[in-house]
C-alpha cells in the first residue's frame, strides 16, 4: 500500500485505464480513482490525471465526470505513472497499452484470480468482490466524497449482481454500508445502471433466451448472437449485459455460456457457473480468464466450432463430479 502511495506521490502525470469493453466495475473504479486523485492533487503535487476507456453506454453518465474520460487514444502523451484497474492481463488494456508501455512506472490494481501481475507494482485481491472494493480498502475513508462513493458503489453492485453473487463478503457489505453513509442515492444507481434496459436490449435478451439451447443433459445453457443479428439491432457489447445471468438461473443448469461475434468468426465467450464447475479453468485454457464462477475468453471459428470446442471441457468437469447422468 505504501508503495502505491509513494509512486503516486512521485508522479506528475498519471494515466488511469481499465479493460477493453469496460463494465460497471471498470468504469466505476476508473472514475472513483480519478476523482480521488483530483481530491489529493494539490497535496500530492499532481499535474495531470487522465482516464482512458473504450466507449460505454450513456447509463454511466449518472456518475460525475464520466464526460471527462478520454475515448480517443490518438495522442503523443506519455505518463510518469500508469494505473491499470480491473484488468487481468496486458492485452486486455487494448489501445491504452501504449501508455502502459511508455510510462515510467506501472501499477496494477485488480481482483481477477487470473491476473498475470504484469505491472511494476501489483495489488491483486482475488477474494475481493470488485476492483472498487479493492480501491475502497486502499483509500482514506474520510477523503471519499459522495461522488467517489457513487462510483465505488456502482462498481460493487455490477460485479456482485447487486450483492447476489458469492463474491459478496461481509467486508463487501461493510464497504457498501460506508458508501451509503456518504449520502448516495443507491436505488437510482442500481435501477438506472443495472436493471434498466432499452427496448432494443429487451428484444435481444428475449431473442437470445428464445433461441437458447440446453446441452450435456440439460446441464449447460447456451445462447449466441452472430454479427448479422447484432448489426440488425445496432447492438454493441454493452447491450448484451444480463443475458448470461438469465441463462445461469435456468433450472438444472450448472453452467451458462453466452457467445457473441466480435468480428467475422471471432467470438467473445462468457461463462458462468452455479458453483460446481470451475469456468476460470476453461477460460484460461482458451487464453482468457476471470473468476471460478465467472470467466470469459475469445475464440475463433463458427458458432458451432466454438460450442463444439468448449463443451468437452465442461463435459470433463461434469463427469469428474458425477454430475452428467
For Mn ion, the closer CB: 92 or 248: 92
CA 270-34-20 angle, 5° bins: 25
Least distance from Mn ion to the Cβ atom of residue 111, Å: 6
Least distance from Mn ion to the Cβ atom of residue 73, Å: 22
Contact window for Mn ion (CB under 5 A) among 1-9, 93-101, 158-166, 282-290: 158-166
- Within residues 80-119, the interface with Mn ion by CB under 5 A covers 86
Distances (CA, A) of 229 to 113, 213, 232: 33, 17, 5
For Mn ion, the closer CB: 54 or 159: 159
For Mn ion, the closer CB: 113 or 303: 113
**Residues in contact with Mn ion, shown as a per-residue x/- string from 164 to 183 under the rule CB under 5 A:** --------------------
Q: Give residue number: closest CB to Mn ion.
A: 25
> Which alpha helices (DSSP H) does the chain contain, by range?
2-10, 24-39, 41-44, 97-102, 131-138, 146-160, 170-180, 186-190, 199-210, 227-233, 243-248, 279-285, 303-320
Let me know: does 156 contact 165? Beta carbons within 8 Å: no
**Residues in contact with Mn ion, shown as a per-residue x/- string from 18 to 57 under the rule CB under 5 A:** -------x--------------------------------
CA 187-55-122 angle, 5° bins: 85
In this chain, which of 50, 133, 159, 254 binds Mn ion, going by CB under 5 A? Answer: 159
Least distance from Mn ion to the Cβ atom of residue 49, Å: 21
Let me know: does 80 contact 48? Beta carbons within 8 Å: no
For Mn ion, the closer CB: 130 or 273: 130
CA 21-24-38 angle, 5° bins: 100
For the chain, counts of helices (H) and of strands (E): 13, 11
For Mn ion, the closer CB: 15 or 155: 155
For Mn ion, the closer CB: 86 or 239: 86
For Mn ion, the closer CB: 54 or 86: 86
Least distance from Mn ion to the Cβ atom of residue 129, Å: 8
Report the candidate in 121, 142, 122, 136 with the shortest Cα–Cα distance to residue 169. 136
Contact window for Mn ion (CB under 5 A) among 127-135, 182-190, 208-216, 290-298: 127-135
Residue 147 binding Mn ion, by CB under 5 A: no
d(CA 317, CA 83): 37
Q: Which residues contact 209 (CB under 8 A, 6 or more apart)?
A: 223, 243, 246, 247
The residue ranges that bind Mn ion (CB under 5 A) are: 25, 86, 130-131, 159
Amino acid at each position: 500500500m505504501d508503495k502505491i502511495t509513494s509512486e503516486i506521490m512521485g508522479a506528475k502525470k498519471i494515466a488511469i485505464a481499465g479493460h477493453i469493453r469496460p463494465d460497471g466495475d471498470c468504469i466505476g473504479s476508473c472514475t472513483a480513482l480519478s476523482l480521488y486523485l483530483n481530491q489529493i492533487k494539490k497535496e500530492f503535487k499532481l499535474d495531470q490525471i487522465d482516464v482512458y476507456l473504450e466507449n460505454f453506454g450513456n447509463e454511466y453518465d449518472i456518475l460525475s465526470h464520466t464526460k471527462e474520460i478520454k475515448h480517443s487514444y490518438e495522442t503523443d502523451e506519455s505518463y510518469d505513472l500508469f494505473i491499470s484497474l480491473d484488468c487481468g492481463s496486458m492485452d486486455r488494456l487494448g489501445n491504452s497499452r501504449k501508455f502502459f508501455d511508455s510510462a515510467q512506472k506501472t501499477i496494477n490494481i485488480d481482483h481477477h484470480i487470473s491476473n498475470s501481475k504484469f505491472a511494476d507494482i501489483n495489488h491483486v485481491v482475488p477474494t475481493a468482490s470488485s476492483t472498487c472494493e479493492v480501491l475502497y480498502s486502499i483509500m482514506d475513508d474520510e477523503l471519499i466524497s459522495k461522488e467517489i462513493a457513487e462510483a465505488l458503489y456502482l462498481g460493487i453492485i455490477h460485479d456482485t449482481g447487486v450483492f447476489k453473487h458469492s463474491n459478496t463478503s461481509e467486508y463487501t457489505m461493510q464497504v457498501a454500508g460506508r458508501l451509503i453513509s456518504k449520502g448516495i442515492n443507491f436505488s437510482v444507481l442500481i435501477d438506472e445502471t443495472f436493471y434498466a434496459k432499452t427496448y432494443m436490449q429487451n428484444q435481444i435478451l428475449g431473442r437470445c433466451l428464445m433461441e437458447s439451447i440446453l446441452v450435456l443433459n440439460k446441464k449447460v445453457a447456451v445462447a449466441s448472437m452472430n454479427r448479422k443479428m447484432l448489426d440488425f439491432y445496432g447492438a454493441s457489447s454493452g447491450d448484451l449485459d444480463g443475458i448470461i445471468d438469465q441463462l445461469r438461473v435456468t433450472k438444472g443448469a450448472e453452467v451458462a455460456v453466452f457467445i457473441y461475434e466480435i468480428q467475422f468468426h471471432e467470438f467473445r465467450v462468457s461463462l458462468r457457473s452455479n458453483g460446481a464447475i470451475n469456468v476460470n479453468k476453461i477460460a484460461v485454457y482458451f487464453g482468457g480468464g476471470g473468476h471460478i464462477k465467472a470467466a470469459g475468453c475469445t475464440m475463433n471459428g463458427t458458432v458451432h466450432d466454438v460450442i463444439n470446442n468448449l463443451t468437452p471441457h465442461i463435459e470433463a468437469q461434469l463427469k469428474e463430479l458425477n454430475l452428467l447422468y
